[in-house]
């Protein structure tokens, strides 16, 4: 019997070792395959090549490639603003590329990113090369980009969705009341609308005022840009939107001067082929991945400007899957700032911020490292689509702040929300009982209403946090706390409005921020180095256990329902006092 158990144990051990070895081989094989799938060989364009820029999917500042997700069949399209801008510049400088052919589909992004791409396209046109745009159906944002093209074509059965801007807020107060949940709200800031869905059934007058103000500013910039590019009056554009011509026959777009001609895709490609001087039967194009791989001479120089990307909500570091494509700003950004401060080759830093805010505590940690870095070398913030609330908190101490005209920023204010589920417990006939040693040991217990003395404590805590926020902004912008409070109170401003009020220094994109950083550091000859504030994919992958491959399987099994699963999981990160925008910013 003893010999039997010995043999059985040895056999089981052998099986486990074999499974482990096979798993390791599988993982590294997976890595090898995924890496080869994600890599693109160096590309040399033939004479008269056309850069085909397809505008489709979600746009982020600087995406982290996830080859495993690609291998698992996840096909979510994500474009990088950094890649689009750099490839337009490469196409401009490469003598074999004759022009850009834009195929506009459905690009989801903010108006500030659209402005940055549009500016790059105008610069490309100034070099003497052509731009031709085509779409089956132009979205409003894509048309804003394409309006700068030499020729704008639309499918004869297509549409141009130029309808104006709208913002919708959903309110949960009555729904929560029905299920027996009462949200206890603590905030500072007249305009801090993040809590309104839980306490009102419609927008407050202050919140409505700020939404109307920033939307009006953005729409004015958009219509002025289109009017200038198409050489038509702004009134004609607003008339097109107000008359509902977006739903009219395609001929109306030509009649109104918004489109040059109606053409099918094949006809447009034939036009582009002739414009480029190509003689082949098919239009010879290069997509963004090929243009990215064109070899450029960029010698490493001893003096560097580092570009640090911080994108997403600000939240504590949480265990996560390497397959999660959602970006977040954690204390890793603070650690990267420390590394950049100590790197003697880095003479200046451009801090690219694209965030609606989040945890006030994490924002404070990043703010502190911005202050420490500024003592050693210049740090210039480049604001993306949104750098508000916590996003402004981590920006305010920079040497200089550069924002796009349509960036959403400001929102200087904080809040806290505590649910009381007494009514729900009563409906479910649930009861609780607590034993405690001290007065406030059970503060935050959701099963009972909050006492008045507890409310006073929480409100004073929130107000102290707001005072700290004001102090950080006042010191960073060299303004008084009273002046910051006057333009604070949770109010959202566009970059253009923020510059008028002293919250930002200048308007422009990341190139403007790089130029400013070089000037502050007195650099004329330098190279750029890019740093991501997000987690490194392969490092995270190796650190995780093999079992986390299940996450990709779950995503495939749940399909569209995975987003609900992820949202519920992310609720765990919303802890402590929040400095966050009052709503998710919708694409243009």
44 in any annotated domain? no
Count up the domains in the chain and report the number: 2
Higher-pLDDT residue of 399 and 199 is: 399
pLDDT at 333 over 80: yes
503-540 residue pLDDT tens: 999 999 999 999 999 999 999 999 999 998 655 444 44
pLDDT at 1 over 80: no
Annotated catalytic residue: which of 389, 395, 411, 532? 389
What are the C-alpha distances in Å from 453 to residues 112, 315, 568? 45, 29, 31
Same domain, 317 and 288: no
Same domain, 389 and 480: yes
Same domain, 250 and 371: no
**Structure confidence at residue 78 (pLDDT):** 83
Last residue of a domain, one of 255, 271, 292: 292
pLDDT confidence bin for 452, thresholds 50/70/90: very high
**Structure confidence at residue 114 (pLDDT):** 96
Whether 192 is a known active-site residue: answer yes
200-226 residue pLDDT tens: 999 999 999 999 999 999 999 999 999
pLDDT at 322 over 80: no
The CATH number for 521's domain is 3.90.226.10
pLDDT at 378 over 50: yes
**Structure confidence at residue 510 (pLDDT):** 97
- Work out the average pLDDT over 362-385: 97
314 in any annotated domain? yes
Q: What is the pTM of this model?
A: 0.84
- Work out the average pLDDT over 414-425: 88
Higher-pLDDT residue of 13 and 326 is: 326
Domain hosting residue 347, numbered range: 304-580
- Work out the average pLDDT over 99-107: 96
437 in any annotated domain? yes
Same domain, 394 and 426: yes
Same domain, 315 and 261: no
pLDDT at 85 over 50: yes
pLDDT at 72 over 60: no
- Work out the average pLDDT over 347-370: 96
Same domain, 282 and 326: no
Q: What backbone torsions phi and psi does residue 448 show, to the nearest 5 degrees?
A: -145, 155
- Work out the average pLDDT over 370-381: 98
Q: Are strands 408-410 and 492-494 parallel, antiparallel or unpaired?
A: antiparallel
Annotated catalytic residue: which of 52, 129, 187, 192? 192
Task: State the residue for tokens 């003893």.
Answer: 2
Higher-pLDDT residue of 575 and 452 is: 452
175 in any annotated domain? no
501 in any annotated domain? yes
**Structure confidence at residue 502 (pLDDT):** 97
* Mean pLDDT over the full length of the chain: 85
Secondary structure (DSSP) of 45-93: PPTTEEEEEEEEEEEESS----HHHHHTT----EEEHHHHHHHHHHHHH
Same domain, 258 and 358: no
Please answer whether residues 490 and 411 qualify as being in contact, where contact means their C-beta atoms are separated by less than 8 angstroms. Answer: yes
Backbone dihedral region for residue 312 (phi beyond 0: left; psi -120 to 50: alpha; all else: beta): left
- Work out the average pLDDT over 568-578: 51
**Structure confidence at residue 194 (pLDDT):** 82
**Structure confidence at residue 546 (pLDDT):** 40
Same domain, 332 and 256: no
pLDDT confidence bin for 110, thresholds 50/70/90: very high
Last residue of a domain, one of 232, 262, 292: 292
Higher-pLDDT residue of 42 and 23 is: 42
Which helix (H) or strand (E) segment holds residue 5: the answer is helix 2-38
Please answer whether residues 415 and 578 qualify as being in contact, where contact means their C-beta atoms are separated by less than 8 angstroms. Answer: yes
**Structure confidence at residue 537 (pLDDT):** 46
pLDDT at 192 over 70: yes
Torsion of CA 329, 334, 337, 342, to 10 degrees: -150
Higher-pLDDT residue of 400 and 187 is: 400
Last residue of a domain, one of 271, 292, 313: 292
254 in any annotated domain? yes
Q: What gap in Å lies between CA 201 and CA 57, rounded to an integer?
A: 33
Of the listed ranges 94-103, 162-171, 375-384, 467-476, the one predicted with least confidence? 162-171
**Structure confidence at residue 416 (pLDDT):** 86
213 in any annotated domain? no
Of the listed ranges 41-55, 155-169, 274-288, 567-581, the one predicted with least confidence? 567-581
Same domain, 276 and 317: no
Same domain, 286 and 345: no
Same domain, 438 and 367: yes
402 in any annotated domain? yes
**Structure confidence at residue 297 (pLDDT):** 64
Same domain, 256 and 384: no
**Structure confidence at residue 302 (pLDDT):** 84
């Amino acid at each position: 019997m003893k010999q039997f158990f010995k043999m059985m144990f040895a056999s089981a051990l052998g099986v486990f070792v074999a499974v482990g070895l096979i798993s390791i081989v599988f993982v590294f094989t997976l890595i090898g395959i995924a890496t080869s799938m994600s890599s693109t060989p160096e590309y040399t364009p033939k004479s008269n090549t056309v850069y085909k820029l397809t505008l489709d999917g979600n746009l982020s500042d600087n995406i982290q490639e996830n080859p495993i997700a690609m291998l698992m069949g996840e096909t979510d399209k994500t474009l990088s603003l950094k890649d689009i801008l750099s490839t337009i510049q490469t196409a401009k400088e490469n003598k074999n590329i004759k022009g850009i052919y834009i195929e506009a589909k459905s690009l989801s992004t903010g108006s500030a990113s659209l402005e940055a791409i549009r500016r790059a396209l105008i610069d490309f046109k100034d070099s003497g090369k052509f731009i031709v745009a085509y779409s089956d159906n132009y979205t409003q944002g894509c048309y804003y980009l394409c309006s700068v093209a030499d020729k704008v074509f639309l499918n004869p059965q297509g549409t141009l969705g130029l309808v104006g801007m709208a913002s919708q807020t959903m309110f949960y107060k009555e729904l929560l009341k029905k299920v027996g949940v009462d949200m206890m709200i603590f905030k500072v800031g007249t305009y801090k609308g993040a809590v309104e869905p839980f306490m009102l059934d419609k927008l407050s007058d202050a919140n409505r005022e700020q939404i109307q103000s920033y939307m009006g500013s953005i729409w004015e910039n958009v219509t002025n840009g289109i009017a200038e590019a198409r050489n038509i009056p702004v009134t004609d554009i607003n008339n097109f939107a107000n008359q509902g011509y977006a739903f009219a026959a395609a001929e109306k777009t030509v009649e109104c001067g918004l489109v040059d001609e109606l053409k099918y895709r094949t006809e447009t490609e034939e036009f582009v082929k002739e414009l480029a001087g190509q003689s082949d039967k098919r239009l010879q194009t290069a997509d963004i991945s090929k243009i990215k791989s064109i070899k450029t001479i960029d010698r490493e120089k001893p003096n560097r400007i580092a570009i640090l990307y911080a994108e997403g909500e600000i939240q504590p570091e949480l265990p996560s899957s390497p397959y999660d494509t959602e970006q977040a700003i954690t204390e890793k950004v603070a650690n990267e700032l420390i590394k950049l401060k100590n790197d003697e080759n880095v003479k200046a830093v451009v801090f690219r911020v694209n965030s609606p805010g989040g945890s006030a505590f994490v924002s404070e940690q990043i703010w502190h490292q911005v202050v420490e870095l500024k003592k050693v070398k210049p740090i210039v913030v480049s604001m993306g689509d949104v750098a508000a609330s916590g996003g402004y908190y981590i920006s305010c101490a920079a040497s200089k702040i550069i924002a796009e005209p349509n960036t959403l920023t400001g929102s200087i204010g904080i809040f806290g929300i505590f649910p009381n589920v007494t009514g729900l417990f009563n409906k479910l006939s649930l009861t609780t009982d607590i034993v405690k040693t001290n007065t406030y040991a059970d503060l935050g217990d959701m099963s009972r209403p909050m006492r008045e003395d507890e409310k006073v404590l929480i409100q004073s805590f929130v107000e102290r946090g707001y005072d700290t926020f004001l102090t950080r902004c006042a010191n960073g912008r060299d303004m008084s706390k009273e002046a910051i409070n006057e333009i604070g109170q949770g109010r959202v401003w566009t970059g253009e409005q923020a510059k008028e009020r002293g919250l930002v220094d200048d308007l422009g994109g990341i190139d403007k921020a790089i130029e400013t950083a070089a000037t502050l550091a007195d650099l004329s000859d330098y190279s750029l180095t890019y740093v991501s504030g997000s987690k490194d994919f392969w490092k995270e992958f190796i650190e995780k256990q093999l079992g986390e491959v299940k996450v990709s399987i779950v995503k495939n099994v749940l399909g569209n329902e995975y987003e609900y699963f992820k949202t519920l999981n992310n609720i765990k990160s919303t802890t402590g006092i929040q400095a966050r925008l009052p709503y998710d910013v919708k694409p243009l």
